[in-house]
Amino acid sequence: MPPRRRALVIVLGVALAAVGCTFNFFDQSQVPVVTVGTGLRPQISWAPSPAYTLSVYAGEKDGDGFGVIWYAVGSGGYFNRLHSPVTYGVPPSNSEVAAAPPLEAGKTYTVSILRKDEKGSGEGFTNSRHRYVGTHTFVARE
């Protein structure tokens, strides 16, 4: 096969392989936008809903699992089954988490909402899912 034809076959093969693969690009519209109400047991809401987990941290940072003072997770394993809104410290009906005491007025807290990508597939090395994390830092007020 002449070199020019071989190059054309290679380019076409790569193009066909790329079209056959499924790409799952990061979708900014799936990052949760978090809002927190007032009071020491504020209502926490987010969009888009549902999400996988909600975590509340003392301080101005999302501790990525460390230093959680309260959390809520939807039932059914690793799926987005936690629906907005949730009241801080009150376990949602479809979860297995404990209640929490009220927040302290004047202290700073950070809420983190984690959504798992519904469009991705695979596990481990072949995983094409994204994690979408939305955070909101606030000062508790009575």
CA atoms within 13 A on the CB side of 105: 4
For residue 29, the 8-state DSSP code is G
Query: For the domain bounded by 28-139, which CATH number is listed?
Result: 2.60.40
Give the contacts of 66 (CB within 8 A, at least 6 positions apart): none
Q: Is the pLDDT of residue 19 over 50?
A: no
- How many CB atoms sit inside 10 A of residue 5's CB? 9
Tens of pLDDT along 57-115?
A: 999 877 655 688 999 988 877 788 899 999 999 998 877 788 898 999 999 999 999 99
Provide the CA 15 distance to its chain's centre, in angstroms.
33
Whole-angstrom Cα distance, residue 76 to residue 52? Answer: 10
Tens of pLDDT along 26-36?
A: 678 889 999 99
For residue 66, the 8-state DSSP code is T
Residues of the chain above pLDDT 90, percent: 44
